[in-house]
Structure 1
Amino acid sequence: MKPTLVLVDDEERILRSLAMLFRPHYSLFTTVDAREALDYVRNHPTHVIVSDQRMPAMRGADLLKAVKDISPNTMRLLLTGYSELEAIVASVNEGEVFRFINKPWDAAELKQTVNHAAEIALNLFSAEPAVRPPVATLTETGSFVAPQPGEGILVIDDDAEVYKAVQEIVGPAQPVHWASSLEQAFALLAEREIGVVISELFVRREAIALALKLLKAQHPEVVTIVMTPFQDTTVLIGLINQGQVYRFLPKPIRRGPLGMNIASALRHHRALKSAPRLREAHAVETLRQPEDSVMATRVMGFLGRLRNRNFASSRA
């Protein structure tokens, strides 16, 4: 059976170019109308959707959010010619996209990415019935319920006020750990069971985006929220594609949204932990060549010790 691929762009010329890449191997539905794409997904099993961001009737991020709600096993890719901060943040926080793709695209890379997404979706669709919804993480009054094993929260930030704010939001039910350096972060990861990481991108003037990418590649069940005033779109796109960051949140902290996103991240962690097949939907793009080989060596050393701890605990 050919996987079904939906292509959405308000420019006919771009739709034709995309269709030429995929027609022999996919059952295609192409449209310039986001609402028509949404109707199609409602009524047909759809394995992959590729949508432009800038469209007159609906933003691509809004379309992909609606697709996620209707068909969560459909893999979602956002295509755009503009590296806009708003689009990047929305693609993660609202659409939970698999990949963010810049125009003009590399045809071979785009085909490889879509093929990978389709392979994952076929596995997810064949794994019915769907995974049970994870246990609630908030009570009716808005407080956090008692954690399950392996659900500690790690705050990586050299600002103690961020750690205190997370502690106050979560309350006594959830263990919250604090690292003000990368070394402390990986020491805590080796010692504690961590389900959610809340991290700055610069700690003690050291860029740690690469560390977050490598952590996700080795431990796909760990869910990362990036909270930063940093607005470099290239770095943020890399964190989507190579780090599968769960949320981007701005500073200064807004406690209401942060609390809701922590609860959502814990639910997502539980789902990933209970259904290993679901982790495929959050597979990271391979880092072809780490941008910082010294940092990569340090991080891989940390992760090696973390693997050894996990292996030892599994043998105990």
Structure 2
Amino acid sequence: MTPRNSTKLIRVLYLDDEDNNLRSFKAAFRRDYEVYTANNTEDAFSILKTHKPQVIFSDQRMPVTSGVEFFNAVRQVFPDPVRILITGFTDVNDIIDAINKGHVYRYITKPWSEAEIKVAIENAYDLYHTRKQLRTKIEDLEKTNNELNRFVYSVSHDLRAPIASVLGLVKVAHLDVKEEQAVSLFNKVDQSVHKLDLLVNNIIDYYKNSKAAEEFVEVNIENLVDDVLNHLHSGESRENVNIQKSVNQNARFFGDYFRIRIVLSHLIANAIKFKKPDQDRARVDLKFAIDAEEIHIRVKDHGVGILHEHVEQIFKMFFRGKDQMAGSGLGLYIVKEALAKMGGSIDVTSSPGEGAEFHICIPNVSKDSDE
């Protein structure tokens, strides 16, 4: 049982219309517990408001209000106390009502024994104490989660303005500064700030993916790919990538446009980022096969590929292979998390120097519709 301060007795309320039962109950347990009694619901509610008992007993058969009806009213106003029904009958319907309407912890049949009542009180208090602790922990977690959300939102968005300013200043410097060493230093600044910008964007994507509600719409593949390319690196990707797209569509596709865009954005960004040094333009092959059940997406690049020992690690948070240090270590983790939100899956095949191919499968939420 939960240890408690022995100087603080458990507060117990007993409601019964028969005064003899109330006197007997109080005489039996007043030394061990702080006992309050009431012979009508009005007095019982007054005691609940004033003394806040942790355990409530109520007789079931009373002339005005049944024990179940009383408990049903109590839990609307005072949900914390643990409720125990005392009844001289074992009517199944009463028991069902007690569980469904009164949300009772247990019921005890008359005539009750002192030992049974004591066990019931101690166990009920343990439950009361555990619920209170759990509620406190939930409140603490909600507070921490809200603070974390505010922190992530503030940090990620407040960083965007200075990052944009630094990138703008670097562009101006490239126009005005011609000295070789200075240009080299500005190039390093530009690369570092772009890495920071990538990390901030990934944090925002992670935050949005974890918080955004699912919203299913009909997805137009052509618009989807255009949206992705327009989003990547302020349009520079269109000049740096050769997209080969194939669509085999046998049904309308409905899915979470926001998360599908996240998936394709990160995969195409990786294809561009990890092209071979001798490639002027990254090449990405996109294949979409859509039927009434699901959509299969294949994203194949022709870049440096993934080391065999890294294939099983690439979807872990912050994993970056030694030959792929340009990434943030978040992109593919976000991809897998977004797919998990949609009930999708992903696998990859790759060899060093031969590129990588990602296979994504996402359920078509229209499969049960009549359209």
- TM-score tier by shorter-chain length is 0.3 to 0.5
**Normalising to structure 2: TM-score of the pair?**
0.34
**Normalising to structure 1: TM-score of the pair?**
0.39
Higher RCO, 1 or 2 (CA under 8 Å, sep at least 6)? 1
- Mark the structure with the bigger radius of gyration: 2
